[in-house]
Amino acid sequence: MMHALASPARFAKISRVVMPVSFVLAALLTALGLYFALYASPPDYQQGITVRIMYVHVPAAWMALGIYSAVALSSAAFLIWRHQLAALAAREIAPIGAMFTAICLVTGMLWGKPMWGAYWVWDARLTSMLVLFMMYIGFIALTQLGREEEHIHQAASWLAIAGIINLPIIKFSVEWWNTLHQPASVLRSGGPSIDGSMLTPLLIMAAAAMFFTLAITLWKIDTARIEQKLKRLHARAFAEHTRSTQPLNITSE
C-alpha cells in the first residue's frame, strides 16, 4: 500500500476525493462536539466547569502522539525505500503535530492552575510532553535547513525515529512514577472510567481533530508537490533560456 501511495499521480487522485470529505466531517464533528462539550455534558463533581478543558486538551494530546508516530513511520519509509513522498509527508505533517502539542501544553497549564495551584510543575507527564514539543521543533528546524537536500532529510528522519522512545514514556509516565497528573481514563486495560455523558463529546472532538489533521495534511502535501513541480519547471526553463542566449564561440583560423 505504501508503494502504491508513493505514486504522485495515484496519491493526488486519492487526495482529491478524501480531502474535501475530511474538511466537511471535521467541521461538522467540531460543531457537534463543541455543543456537547459546552452545553450538553455536565460539570465534574470535583473539578466543576474546568473539566470542559478536557475536550480540547485530551484530543490534542492524542493527536500530538499519533502525528509524531506518523512522522517517524514516514521517515522510516523514506530511509528504507527512498520514497520522496514519505519525506515530504513527514515534513508537512510535523508542524501540525507541533501545534497540537502546544495546544496540549497550554490547555494543560490552564487546567493545572485551579487543580494543582500552579501553571507548571516538573511532572513526568508534563516534562515528557515538553520533550515531545522540542523533538517536533528540532525536526522542523532541521528540515528547513535544506528542503531539497537528501542528506538533510536523512538526518531529520533519524532524529524523528530516535524520538519514538519518548512516546511510551509519555503514555506510561503516570504509572511508572509518582505524578500529579491523573491516570488514564479512556485508553486503559479495564475500559473507560469516564461517564458516557463526558466520553461521547470527548470522542467526537477526537474524531474532529483526526479528520482536520487528515484534511490539512493532504492539502499541505498537495501544495508542496505543486511548489516542487513549479520549481523544477522554472529551473528547466531558466537552463534552456541560458543555453539559448549564450553567444556563439566562433574562432577563425
56-94 per-position pLDDT tens digit: 999 999 999 999 999 999 999 999 988 888 888 999 999
Q: Indicate whether 143 belongs to any domain.
A: yes
* pLDDT tens readout for residues 174-201: 888 777 777 777 766 666 768 788 889 9
The pTM of this model reads 0.86
190 part of a folded domain: no
How many angstroms separate the CA atoms of 14 and 18, rounded?
Answer: 6
- Classify residue 74: in a domain, yes or no: yes
> Could you give the maximum distance between any two Cα atoms of the chain, in Å?
100
Q: Where are the alpha helices (DSSP H) in 54-195?
A: 54-81, 84-116, 124-145, 150-162, 166-176
pLDDT of 252 over the 50 cut:
no
Domain assignment of residue 33, yes or no: yes
Query: For residue 218, is pLDDT > 50?
Result: yes
Task: Give me the domain span that covers residue 218.
Answer: 21-41+48-178+210-233
The number of folded domains in the chain is 1
Q: With respect to residue 204, please indicate whether it lies within any of the assigned structural domains.
A: no
Q: Does 4 have pLDDT greater than 60? A: no
* Range picked from 24-28, 112-116, 199-203 for highest mean pLDDT: 24-28
Residue 12 lies in a domain: no
Residue 77 covered by a domain:
yes
**In a domain? residue 252:** no
